[in-house]
A and B are shown apart, each in its own frame.
Chain A
Amino acid sequence: MDRNSNTYTFIFSISMVIVVAVVLSFLATSLKPKQSKNVRQEKMQNILNTFVGDSIEVDGKKVELTRELASEKFDEFIKNQYALNYKGETVESVNAFNINLATEIKKPVEEQIFPLYEAEFNGQTFFVIPLRGSGLWDAIWGYVALKDDLNTIEGIIFDHKGETAGLGAEITTDWFQERFKDEKIYDGNNIVGVEVTKGYSGGNDKTDHQVNAISGATMTGNGVTNMMKERLAKYKPFFEKLKNSKLAIQ
């Protein structure tokens, strides 16, 4: 058949599309379970990282908290998982771990469900809140662990989809995340989160709700600021209820 005829070109294109579609679909579906497992394990690892750190003691030895180890230890440390509505009431029908924040934050606030994890580690209680917002290029997200006072940050983990390596992507590094440790999220009676500030001169001040930004990553830093303020404020009703119930017990 003439290679330049229309019929040949059509037949070739259609066959090529079919072959490529079959190969890629087969590959995607066969690898999907493994990919989903990686994502679930990483989520567990991130949640635990906020209050456990990078390593954990197992049988008297300090070992790295890998994805596999985190998935084994998750149920041991996480005592409660809450799915909350905007009034701070728990929604029993929803599994907190399965909530996809990416789709959730697109809904009106009244319809959103806010996941929260209550953890116990070394005799202390922590509350881990998932975060999600926008960086310079794409989505950024993270997990923040609050101490028992529901105000002081114990630890924080950030991640991103497409921030620039060496600049915005540095939000995933320990030295940047360390800056948030012991910062307060409440300013008086309001949740303000922590602001990433360019040219910060506050040194090690943990009460000013500010941390130093990364040079060359102003937009990503602003994204982190907005994400923290917007997400954390949504938990205020639940925090107030929790504080009141604690006061009532005392």
Chain B
Amino acid sequence: MSEQKKEIKTKEEKKKEEMILFLSKSEEKEAFLSRANRKLLTDPLNDDNPITVQMLGICSALAITVQLRPAIVMSLAVIFVTAMGNVVISLLRNLIPNRIRIIVQLVVVASLVIVVDQVLKAFLYDVSKQLSIFIGLIITNCIIMGRLEAFALGNKPWKSFLDGIGNGAGYGIILIIVAFFRELLGSGKLLGYEILGHKGLTLADSTGLYALGYENNGFFLLSPMALIIVGLVIWYQRSRNRKLIEES
């Protein structure tokens, strides 16, 4: 009996080993943009959006969405820092002492932000001026620390890179949506161009909607309106995607 049991055990162990071998092989052979990898890129854009679903990084969404241009450049900067930060932490994941991992993550993020800031100042001086303090604010963005801690510490560099790009883009999309409405309705412009017409000193000097008596809504320039727009985006997203609705 005991020998039979041993045989069964060894068979089971063999099966397990084969399974592990198969899984690791399939992981090795996994295409660069396999289904699972594509999900890393696309999930944060909708189902797992860092701002509207995970409720992270909202503070900066309030601060920098008065105009579209800084929102776009900020999104690109965040995509770069999340992606590169994820890759660096993923490469170091087997070396980082567990007790100081948060400090290590902070150092990596802060260094990357300084790199972005210095390069912009040298090669894209005008863009760097437009962003001014916002670039520094990236260090305090919860999304980045969240991804490093939750994903990069446990995954390989390529997957971490895709996850970084996906989450940065998910953040960027919401920022751009909010900035679009705030700049359009708050100052009648998009990217600095007058979309709703020109507002002159008097009605006769004005063109477009302003000639009909339209006034810019100054409330859109204030931070609370960003929060309200984010709320509307969340409302819309959940009405389209029922699985995001939490049962209470």
- Total inter-chain residue pairs, C-beta < 8 Å: 76
Task: Give bound CA distance, A68 to B169, whole Å.
Answer: 35
Q: Which of A3-11, A52-60, A103-111, A231-239 contacts B (4 or more CB under 8 A)?
A: A3-11
Bitwise interface map of A from 15 to 59 toward B, beta carbon under 8 Å scored 1, else 0: 011001001100110010011001000100000000000000000
State in angstroms the CA–CA spacing of A16 and B88 once bound together.
Answer: 12
Q: How far is the CA of A8 from the CA of B118 in the complex (A)?
A: 32
Interface residues on chain B, size class? 20 to 34
- Which of the 9-residue segments B17-25, B31-39, B99-107, B236-244 touches chain A? B99-107
Q: Is the pair A166, B133 in contact by a Cβ cutoff of 8 Å? A: no
B67 at the A interface (CB under 8 A): yes
Q: Verify if B218 is at the interface (C-beta below 8 Å from A).
A: yes
Partner of A216 from the list B118, B133, B221 (CB cut-off 8 Å) is B221
User: Inside 8 A of A63's CB, which chain B residues have their CB?
Assistant: none
Q: Which residues of A contact B122 (CB under 8 A)?
A: 31, 34-35, 38
Interface size on A, residues (CB 8 A): 31
Select which of B98, B99, B119 is within 8 A of A31 by beta carbon: B119
Return the contact of B125 from the options A17, A20, A38 (Cβ within 8 A).
A38
Q: In the complex, A98→B123 CA distance in Å? A: 23
Task: List chain A residues, Cβ under 8 A from B119.
Answer: 27, 31
B97 within 8 A of A: yes
A154 CA to B64 CA in the complex, in Å? Answer: 33
A8 touches B107 (CB 8 A): no
Q: Is A202 part of the binding interface, using a Cβ–Cβ cutoff of 8 Å? A: no
A137 part of interface (Cβ distance < 8 Å):
yes
Closest-CB distance, A171 to chain B (whole angstroms): 13
Return the chain B residue nearest A203 by Cβ: B201
Contact B218 A4 (CB under 8 A): no
Q: Say yes or no: is A100 at the interface (Cβ < 8 Å to chain B).
A: no
A166 touches B111 (CB 8 A): no
B121 and A166 form a contact (CB under 8 A) = no
B residues in contact (CB < 8 Å) with A:
63-64, 66-67, 70, 95-100, 103-104, 107, 111, 114-115, 118-119, 121-123, 125, 129-130, 132-133, 182-183, 186-187, 218, 221-222
List 27 A-B pairs, Cβ < 8 Å: A3-B95, A3-B96, A3-B97, A3-B98, A4-B97, A12-B104, A23-B111, A24-B115, A27-B119, A28-B118, A31-B118, A34-B123, A35-B118, A67-B125, A137-B133, A162-B132, A164-B63, A165-B64, A165-B66, A165-B67, A166-B182, A166-B186, A166-B187, A167-B66, A215-B218, A216-B218, A216-B221
